[in-house]
Amino acid sequence: MPGKLGLGLGDNLMSAATAVVIEDYFWDRIIVDTLSCLEPLASGSVVDVHDTWDLINNPDSPPLLVDYTPEAAPGDEGYWDAAITEQLVNGTFAVNANWSAASISGGQLTKGDTALATQSIALLQAGSEYIVTVDVDTIGAAVQVYVGGTSSGNLVLGQQTIFITAGTNDLLVGFNNGNGSTVINSISLVQNNITPLDV
């Protein structure tokens, strides 16, 4: 009998001998009755080291990892291209410039009362998803990331990554609410833009 289309491994794809190595250990080979099957590895046993895909543990469907999604910033394995371009100027607060309604000193931004602490981003695209990485030193009052009119949930202390879709109100990015005791160590804004490579 001729070999089957696809992997070109002949009739018996799931034999006792190893015919295919599945990269990064996402799957387990199990026997159901007399048939060999592949299923996602159980939660806690998977090794999530892939450069392109991320495994999200869905707590509503234990014990399997059922959600495979592209990495936000994948390594280039020849299949995906991540256009990562920093959109903010002076996001590390190295100088006292580029930000309104805030003071900058010692590599930190301190918000000015409840006003928006922002900068204008000429190329901000309404409706596009952005990845915001922000490091919060002190929270004096509830504060959120603001992108074009869309605000995130309340920030917490330390570094966090937020996926946010830009609104249509304006071209401003920064911090909403908070007060004069709210201190930010850094912020980064990149568009979540993953496309197949033209190979």
pLDDT tens, residue by residue, 83-134 = 678 999 999 999 999 999 999 999 999 999 878 999 999 999 999 999 999 9
* 47-95 confidence digits (pLDDT tens): 555 556 665 555 555 555 445 566 665 554 545 556 678 999 999 999 9
Domain with CATH 2.60.120 in the chain: 102-195
8 backbone φψ class: left, alpha, beta (φ>0; ψ -120 to 50): left
CB 166 within 8 A of CB 120: no
The phi and psi torsions of 40 (rounded to 5 degrees) equal -60, 145
Rg of the chain over Cα atoms, rounded to whole angstroms, equals: 23
pTM above 0.75, yes or no: no
- Count other C-beta atoms under 10 Å from residue 115's C-beta: 16
Distance CA 148, CA 171 (A): 5
Structure tokens at 199: 């190979």
In the chain, count of helices (H) and strands (E)?
Answer: 0, 15
- Classify the C-alpha dihedral 150-154-159-163 as positive or negative: negative
Q: What is the pLDDT of residue 114?
A: 79
- pLDDT surpassing 50 at residue 3: no
Q: What is the pLDDT of residue 192?
A: 85
CB 148 within 8 A of CB 119: no
- Which CATH code, of 2.60.40, 3.40.30, 2.40.50, 2.60.120, is assigned to 102-195? 2.60.120
* 177-187 confidence digits (pLDDT tens): 999 999 999 99
